[in-house]
C-alpha cells in the first residue's frame, strides 16, 4: 500500500506538469499535490506503526492492539466496506489520526474472516446503513 500510494502521488505530479496551463498554476498545483500525497503517506506510516492487531467485538466496537502492549479504542468511519474477500476499514484513533486498513480473507478457510462478515452484516445500523457505510 505504501508503494502504491507513493507511485500514485508521483504519477499525479507528472500528470499535473503535463497539463496545458500556465507554469505558475502548474507549480502551485504540483506543490499542493505533493504536499497532500506526502501527508497521506505520513498518516499511513503513523497508523501502521500504531497497529499490531484490530479487534472487533460483537457489538461493533473496535480496539487496536498496539506494539507496546496497550489497547486503544478505534472509531470506524464512513467509507468502510467489507466484501466477501476484501475489506477496507477507515479508522480514527483517539487523538484524531485517520488511517485506512485493507484486509484480505477467505470465509471458508478463516473463522475470523467469517466472524467479521457476520458482525458487519448484523451491525448495519451501527455502521451507517446499507446504502453507504
Q: Based on the fold, state whether residues 42 and 104 are members of the same structural domain.
A: no
Number of domains in the chain: 2
DSSP labels, 33-67 = HHHHHHHHHHHHHHHHHH-SEEEE-TTS-EEEE-T
Q: Based on the fold, state whether residues 78 and 119 are members of the same structural domain.
A: yes
Q: Based on the fold, state whether residues 64 and 118 are members of the same structural domain.
A: yes
Report residue 82 as a C-alpha cell. 467489507
Residue 21 in this model has a pLDDT that exceeds 90: yes
Predicted pLDDT of residue 125:
52
Q: Based on the fold, state whether residues 119 and 64 are members of the same structural domain.
A: yes
How many CB atoms sit inside 10 A of residue 74's CB? 21
Predicted pLDDT of residue 124:
56
For the whole model, what pTM was predicted? 0.70
How large is the greatest C-alpha to C-alpha distance in the chain, in angstroms?
56
Predicted pLDDT of residue 126:
52
In a domain? residue 132 = no
The parent domain of residue 23 ranges over 2-48
Q: Based on the fold, state whether residues 42 and 59 are members of the same structural domain.
A: no
In a domain? residue 63 = yes
Q: Based on the fold, state whether residues 84 and 34 are members of the same structural domain.
A: no
* 64-90 mean pLDDT: 89
Residue range 24-66, pLDDT digits in tens: 999 999 999 999 999 989 888 888 888 888 888 777 788 999 8
Q: Based on the fold, state whether residues 7 and 25 are members of the same structural domain.
A: yes
Residue the block writes with cell 507554469 = 23
Amino acid at each position: 500500500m505504501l508503494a502504491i500510494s507513493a507511485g500514485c502521488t508521483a504519477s499525479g505530479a507528472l500528470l499535473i506538469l503535463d497539463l496545458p496551463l500556465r507554469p505558475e498554476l502548474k507549480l502551485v498545483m504540483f506543490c499542493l499535490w505533493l504536499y497532500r500525497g506526502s501527508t497521506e503517506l505520513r498518516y499511513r506510516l503513523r497508523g501502521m506503526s500504531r497497529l499490531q492487531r484490530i479487534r472487533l467485538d460483537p457489538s461493533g466496537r473496535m480496539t487496536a492492539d498496539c506494539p507496546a502492549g496497550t489497547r486503544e479504542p478505534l472509531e470506524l468511519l464512513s467509507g468502510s466496506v467489507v466484501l466477501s474477500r476484501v475489506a477496507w476499514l477507515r479508522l480514527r484513533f483517539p487523538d484524531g489520526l485517520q488511517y485506512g486498513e485493507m484486509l484480505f480473507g477467505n470465509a471458508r478457510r478463516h473463522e475470523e474472516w467469517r466472524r467479521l462478515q457476520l458482525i458487519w452484516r448484523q451491525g448495519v445500523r451501527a455502521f451507517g446503513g446499507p446504502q453507504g457505510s
